[in-house]
Structure 1
């Protein structure tokens, strides 16, 4: 699998920003078929950092109302990546 297709997008929330500042962990939305080794290789190759640990979780779909119809959000996979001390990934440089 192409490493550029494994990482779909970074997750930038209050919780993820705190984790990045306090414990040097970053969050990504990744392909559902990707495993921990593939995620580790992709982050190391794309961002040129050293990855120490990868935690993954499947986020279940939630029920949502669209007008008078009920639907569900998509199921997706979240990865929390622990970086080596001193390594950093800046998603918004200059901000």
Structure 2
């Protein structure tokens, strides 16, 4: 798998931001087929930091429903793979630089 296809986007939530500040741990949405070694190589190449640890989990999809003028609409929010990446001591990733 190409390294440019591994990372989809960073996850920017309150919980993820708290982990960035305290534990130097960053959350990313990654391709479902990517393994830990590919994720580590992609982070090191794109952000120029040394990766200490990579934890992955598959977040299950959720059912979503909404009432509209057209009636009751049901759908599904898809499952995705999440990677928690811990970077080396004294290093950080600037996720807001491209905004």
**TM tier, shorter chain?**
over 0.9
Q: How far has the Cα of 1:56 moved from its partner?
A: 0.3
From 72, 79, 84, the counterpart of 2:76: 72
TM-score between both structures, scaled by the size of structure 1 = 0.93
Equivalenced residues, count: 94
Of 68, 84, 87 in structure 2, the residue corresponding to residue 83 of structure 1 is 87
Q: Give the match's secondary structure for 2:20.
A: helix
Write out per-residue CA displacement over residues 35-79 of structure 1, whole angstroms, 9 at most, x where no aligned residue: 011000100011110001000000101010144132211110000
TM-score normalized by structure 2? Answer: 0.90
Offset of residue 91 of structure 1: 1.1
- Which runs of 5 or more residues in structure 2 are unaligned? none
Aligned counterparts, 1:12-31, within 5 A: 12-31=12-31
Give unpaired runs (5+ residues) of structure 1: none
Partners of 2:79 and 2:66 in 1: how far apart?
17
For the pair shown, the structure with the greater C-alpha radius of gyration is 2
2: CA distance, partners of 1:10 / 1:70: 28
Aligned equivalents of 1:81, 1:53: Cα separation in 2: 6
What secondary structure does 1:58 align onto? Answer: strand
